[in-house]
Amino acid sequence: MSDFSEQNPLELINEMISVAKRSFVKMSYYFLLWGWLLFAAGLTEYLLRTQLGYAHIAWIGWPIVGVLGGILAAVRGNKESKSAGATTYMNRVFTYLWGGFVVTLVLYIVASVMHHTNPGPGIIILTGLPTFVSGGIMRFKPLLIGGCTFWVLGIAAHVLPAEWSSLLFCLALVLGYLVPGYLLQKAERDGRV
Amino acid sequence: MGAFEKLDPLLHNQLRLAVVSLLVSVESAEFAFLLENTGATKGNLSAQITKLKEANYISVEKTFRNNYPLTTCKIEPKGVQAFESYVKAISGYLKR
């Protein structure tokens, strides 16, 4: 026996679909976390290498930030997945997209170090892909633009002198992670994404 | 005037339709998630989930998390098809 006296079935379906959309992972946290951490590491490298005369340890910020960011992201991700109560296709796509990106990045860095080449410009270009794809999946234009920004600044980093690459990475992080991240955070709070 | 399509009696129920609508939108959902978002009682939700499972519209997995039982539901292809047919049918009713 039906009991739709209170609510139109299609209204109910739309309401439940809206509810389900709220269980999508809040991606803004990760863009802001990694944006600020990597920005700090990039700025540290630039200052150590070009201003303070410590070029031989200029790389030190990257592994520290990588481990710290990895721990914070994992803790947050674990907490979110336990409290969400539902797994979504979109969350699974993001997990594989960014997980695959991290693996690719690590392998690229290892290969660059083995060949004594600067991985910086390549890292900037690589970061454009998951950023752009995330923007496309979420239909969020600032991230699409952010992804393109990484690509453009990555090319610039290949053309300009090597000492510029960490500064260009910082600029790419501001335009590609931080600005879209804050805009995304607002959109998530407003329920627009 | 064209004939009205028959409405699936399994889905033409507020709570069962709410459950299937939620499950269609996610990959899987825990019992607590369904309970919170449908506003149903535990007993009623449990009963409706059982009916949907018996019809192979959804699958139900029972595991443990931190020693507490955890029930997770997932929509099955038959359920997706039934949901799509229901939406098409009810749209026809509501347009008239």
Q: What are phi and psi for residue B63, nearest 5 degrees?
A: -130, -165
Distance CA A9, CA A29 (A): 35
pLDDT at A1 over 60: no
Nearest CA in chain B to A92: B27
The tens digit of pLDDT for each residue in A105-128 reads 999 999 999 999 989 999 999 999
Across the interface, do A10 and B25 touch by the CB < 8 Å criterion?
Answer: no
Distance CA A187, CA A22 (A): 12
Interface test with A, best of B15, B26, B36, B80 (most A CBs within 10 A): B26
Opening angle at CA A122, ends A120 and A123, nearest 5: 65
pLDDT at A90 over 90: no
DSSP state of A85: -
Distance CA A180, CA A131 (A): 10
Across the interface, do A16 and B18 touch by the CB < 8 Å criterion?
Answer: yes
pTM here?
Answer: 0.82
* Across A58-67, average pLDDT: 93
The tens digit of pLDDT for each residue in A126-173 reads 999 999 999 999 899 999 999 999 999 999 999 999 889 999 999 999
The tens digit of pLDDT for each residue in B37-84 reads 999 999 999 999 999 999 999 999 999 988 889 999 999 999 999 999
Distance CA A121, CA A155 (A): 7
Does residue B70 belong to the interface with chain A, where contact is any CB pair within 8 Å?
A: no
CA nearest neighbour of A147 among A122, A167, A173: A173
Distance CA A50, CA A40 (A): 15
